[in-house]
Amino acid sequence: MAPQNSAVRPEADLDLADQLGHELVRFMRLITKAKSQVAKHGPDGIERAAYAILFCLVHEGPQRTSKLAESLHSEISTISRQSSSLVQHGLVERQADPEDGRACLLAPTAEGLRVFDENRKHRARWLAEVLGDWSQEERETLNELLARLNTGIEKNNPSLSDTAGTAQAKGASNA
């Protein structure tokens, strides 16, 4: 089925999308609350936010600070401060960039990989508890649909110009 222009979507589609939006906002609030109930700093003294850097490095490989800032939608100064903490704690190391010897790449160390794996296992245990009364089929379906939703969001990243165009189209159709 070919994607439709958002200005001509049936009202039922928009109602379902609005319900999904509500549940996603609720989900984000609950995740934020759960994260805030965990100490701001981990047991090793590292800011919890710095683990996002480690996550990117483990999953996407060594990167420059600027690419990490772009990936994490953060300021380079914030990424620099957090990555310095990760380096001081031995979780990340600086390596020469093979494409430009003047620049450096950040990469996880063996200890960084161990700490990442420990955090991943902790998250998996928590999620298994949350989904403990779901059937295997429901959990598999959730994973499939969430992956599909994430892919759709990645492919259809909204921009201000898209929003303005949609609003203009709606205004024209209501006139």
State the Cα–Cα distance between residues 10 and 92, nearest whole angstrom.
50
- What kind and span of H or E run contains 105? strand 100-108
Q: What is the pLDDT of residue 41?
A: 53
Structure-token pair, residue 70 = 């772009």
Q: What is the pLDDT of residue 42?
A: 59
Domains of the chain (ranges; CATH) run 37-147 (1.10.10.10)
State the Cα–Cα distance between residues 38 and 109, nearest whole angstrom.
24
Structure-token pair, residue 68 = 């990490």
Q: Which runs of consecutive H residues, i.e. helices, occur in the chain?
A: 11-37, 51-60, 65-71, 76-88, 110-130, 136-155, 160-174
Q: Per-residue pLDDT for the chain (175 aa), expressed as one digit of tens each?
A: 445 555 678 888 899 999 999 999 999 999 888 877 665 555 566 777 788 899 999 999 999 999 999 999 899 999 999 999 999 999 999 999 888 878 899 999 999 999 899 888 988 999 999 999 999 999 999 999 999 999 998 899 776 445 444 444 444 444 3
Interstrand relation of 92-97 and 100-108 (parallel, antiparallel or unpaired): antiparallel
State the Cα–Cα distance between residues 52 and 106, nearest whole angstrom.
13
State the Cα–Cα distance between residues 24 and 44, nearest whole angstrom.
32
Percent of the chain with pLDDT over 70: 81
